[in-house]
Amino acid sequence: MPESKPILPKTVGPWTRPDSPRIINAKNIFDYMDGAGELYLGYRFDQLESWEYESRTQKTILVELYFMKTADDAFGLLSLDWGGEPVDLVQSQQKNEAPEKYTWARALYGEGLLRLWSDNIYARIMAYQETPESKEAVLAIGRSIIKGRSNPHGPDLIENLPSALQPDWVLLKERASYFRTHLVLNSLYYLGQENMLDLDLNSEGVTSTYERKDAAGKKRIQALIVRYSDYKHAHQALAHFHRVYLPEYPAAQKSGSSRKIVKVFSVEDGWLGYKLQGNSIAFIFECPDQATAKAIIAQLW
């Protein structure tokens, strides 16, 4: 269950926060920000607390606490951009205690902005002017946000992404993101204006880039995995995708009692493959040849 709200320090260095924050919800989020509000709503946003730390000698530090439905939703917001330097905000309680290792960064800092996720909270702490003093204040506020809160691992869809695909494709972790909705997916990897995968807030997915280096330079392929509430929804979504994206090919049929479907196709930007299995569909895009598409799709999920 989501944990209690963090307690922000009243003062940090020369900065002081007000007694109460500005509260933003789904009804007024577009009054607070422009189009970016759609991204937060696409991750089951509950509410936002906005705090401004003011100082007489330095510029404002803005703190935004986004309260999401689950930890996966909060992680998804961080995964939209892996830019910045990873920061370890967790302090070991004992000198000999090794910090727990995580597959993905939990906090990222760069140019005065700290972004982090902690259980069901995604947070942005931004100094309007970066100085050594403001950086320490931003990190101190970040530590107060995560204090006493659990630190679950990321969604299993992204945790289980293969770090490499045979024969020699390597995951670019900075190009891997977790999403739920069509709008968010299109901001990461554009498929088309229509919601051809029937995505909604009850679905979840991950998109990632794999790279291969050879004598001709670098080549990249795009992986996409979507999980639905049940097999029926997944099968209907695949049929919808096929009608819109592959209208020149006949619809694929179920393979035996397993109801598994695996197909590859030649399209304008290379070879595409998909695999329906259970309530999940895996896709691979921009493969250089048919053999690669078949080999890669067999390894996904």
Per-residue pLDDT, 185: 97
DSSP state of 195: -
Cα Rg of the chain (Å, integer):
22
DSSP state of 6: P
Q: What is the pLDDT of residues 85-143, one digit of tens each?
A: 999 998 643 344 555 666 899 999 999 999 999 999 999 999 999 999 999 999 999 99
Per-residue pLDDT, 301: 80
How far apart, in whole angstroms, are the C-alpha atoms of residue 82 and residue 98?
24
Reduced 3-state DSSP string for 219-288: EEEEEEEEECCCHHHHHHHHHHHHHHHCCCCCCCCCEHHHCEEEEEEEECCEEEEEEEECCEEEEEEEEC
pLDDT higher than 50, residue 1 = no
Q: What is the pLDDT of residues 220-263, one digit of tens each?
A: 999 999 999 999 999 999 999 999 999 999 987 665 556 899 99
Check residues 156 and 36 and name the one with the higher pLDDT.
156
DSSP state of 112: T
For the residues 1-11, what does the mean pLDDT come to? 82
How far apart, in whole angstroms, are the C-alpha atoms of residue 238 and residue 243?
9
Per-residue pLDDT, 151: 83
Per-residue pLDDT, 150: 85
Q: What is the pLDDT of residues 176-215, one digit of tens each?
A: 999 999 999 999 999 999 999 999 999 999 999 999 988 6
Q: What is the pLDDT of residues 36-90, one digit of tens each?
A: 898 999 999 999 999 999 999 999 999 999 999 999 999 999 999 999 999 999 8
Per-residue pLDDT, 254: 62
Per-residue pLDDT, 272: 98
Which segments of the chain are extended strands (E)? 11-12, 15-16, 22-25, 45-53, 61-68, 85-86, 107-110, 113-118, 121-127, 164-165, 169-179, 204-214, 217-227, 261-267, 270-277, 280-287
Q: What is the pTM of this model?
A: 0.92
Residue 18 phi, psi (nearest 5) = -75, 175
| Cα-based distances in Å from 96 to 88, 99, 101 | 17, 9, 15
- Contact in structure between 261 and 128 (CB atoms under 8 Å): no
